[in-house]
Amino acid sequence: MPVNPRMIPFAKPHFNNDWLSQILSNVEETLLSGQLTHGKHVQSVEDYFARLLSPMHVATTNSCTASLHLAMILAGIGKGDEVIVPSNTFAATANAVVYCGGTPVFAEIDPHTLNIDPAAISEAVSKKTKAVTIVHLGGLPCDMRRIMPVIKKNNLVLVEDCAHAHGALYQERQCGTFGEFSCFSFYPTKVIAGPEGGLLAASDLKADAKARILINQGRGGFGPAEISEIGYNYRMNELQAIVVEAQMGHLEEIIRIRTELVARYRRNLTGHSSVTVPTVLANTQPSYYSFTVILNQGNRDEIRAQLLNDQIETSIMYHPVHLQPIYRKMYGYKPGSLPTTEDICSRILSLPLYLSMSANDVDAVCARLLSLQEGTNT
């Protein structure tokens, strides 16, 4: 019999009554208006995040993948160029490089923070390196104090993959304001949940202007406008923006709730040799998209399957990209290419985390995880 009477999901979008009322009202108004794209709600989202990420310029997109692709185009990535990326990330981080004809060069992660290792970035730089994409994994800020000197010394373009990092702070500075470009996601499980959607932030006004043309099929306007670039249909629509808009003004509260849940996880799991919790860098405020632990005892996949049988859903963030079949085929990566990443990624487990999760849910997850690891039936 399952331990829990109901499923504890890995992630679940949450809309309180006020947010839901606002969303439904705005959806009805928008549907009746006939302006389902390029309207006031999209503009509202751009304005809010431009303020949050100041002095960056912000354009909405229909996904973080689109934003990453645009960042590579605007960074001038092409055939023969290398972009250093972590392998412990969603494939889109590396795929965006490939879209432009560049070569992703995978760097090791720090086994304590699970983020890209600044020393590994330095070691991976070659004459062909043009950019670095860092990922604030799970909403935990990367070590910018050590990364920025490497970027500046080698005159590289920095792209921040902030899919998990809405509102995350490094030394009181917003993640997404360190690089030339930063990319955000509004996928349904993210810190701010939407029916898909994304943002591209650019430090340069000219890059932002070009991004807006690329987003809109290469046009500076609508209808029979002049096509100045080979562009894409990467626009966010009004319905996506409405869902994001209802939540964005409550970002601090969203992060506070997530932080409290993670603090409870940490209290429950710290001190158990069977589990290692990630290190959070000093003077940072994670956004806590997820809470990932490293299992030091037991088979991760077997434990995960048993947890699911017990009505506890988990995830893996992530299987190393360099060992995905297409990357092994294209670039010749093999097991052992990144030993630290491969070891950590074979043992990581992301535990449930969402706004409507209760303290009792956290306790139940921790108790069952530890019991499975320690071989008891409690």
Q: Please tell me the distance from the alpha carbon of residue 372 to that of residue 369, in angstroms, as a whole number.
A: 5
Q: Please tell me the distance from the alpha carbon of residue 323 to that of residue 318, in angstroms, as a whole number.
A: 11
- Could you tell me the pTM of the whole model? 0.96
Where do the H-state alpha helices sit in the chain? 17-33, 40-52, 64-74, 92-99, 118-124, 144-153, 205-215, 238-248, 251-269, 300-309, 325-331, 339-345, 359-374
What pLDDT is recorded for position 6? 87
Return residue ranges of the chain for CATH 3.40.640.10.
17-108+115-248
Span 13-24, average pLDDT: 97
Where do the H-state alpha helices sit in 156-250? 205-215, 238-248
Alpha-carbon separation of residue 247 from 87, 144, 290, 302 (angstroms) = 31, 28, 18, 37
Q: Give 276-320 pLDDT, tens digit per residue.
A: 999 999 999 999 999 999 999 999 999 999 999 999 999 999 999
Return residue ranges of the chain for CATH 3.90.1150.10.
251-374
Residue 344: pLDDT band (50, 70, 90) is very high
Pick the CATH number of 17-108+115-248 from 3.30.1360.10, 3.40.640.10, 3.20.20.150, 1.10.10.60: 3.40.640.10
What radius of gyration, in Å, describes the C-alpha atoms of the chain?
Answer: 21
Domain covering 251-374: architecture: Alpha-Beta Complex (3.90)
What pLDDT is recorded for position 378? 41
Span 210-217, average pLDDT: 97
In the predicted model, is pLDDT for residue 1 greater than 60?
Answer: no
What pLDDT is recorded for position 377? 45
Q: Give 151-180 pLDDT, tens digit per residue.
A: 999 999 999 999 999 999 999 999 999 999
Q: Give 242-277 pLDDT, tens digit per residue.
A: 999 999 999 999 999 999 999 999 999 999 999 999
What pLDDT is recorded for position 222? 83
Span 230-249, average pLDDT: 98
Q: Three-state SS for 181?
A: strand
DSSP characters over 348-378: EEEEP--TT--HHHHHHHHHHHHHHHHT---
Residue 23 one-letter amino acid = I
Q: Three-state SS for 340?
A: helix
Beta strands 173-174; 291-295: pairing state: unpaired
What pLDDT is recorded for position 29? 97
Q: Please tell me the distance from the alpha carbon of residue 210 to that of residue 84, in angstroms, as a whole number.
A: 24
Residue 223: pLDDT band (50, 70, 90) is confident
Q: Give 193-204 pLDDT, tens digit per residue.
A: 999 999 999 999
Q: Give 94-135 pLDDT, tens digit per residue.
A: 999 999 999 999 999 999 999 999 999 999 999 999 999 999
What pLDDT is recorded for position 2? 59
What pLDDT is recorded for position 355? 97
What pLDDT is recorded for position 376? 45
What pLDDT is recorded for position 225? 82
Residue 3: pLDDT band (50, 70, 90) is low
| Residues constituting the chain | 378
Residue 221: pLDDT band (50, 70, 90) is confident
Span 215-222, average pLDDT: 92
In percent, the amount of the chain with pLDDT more than 70 equals: 98
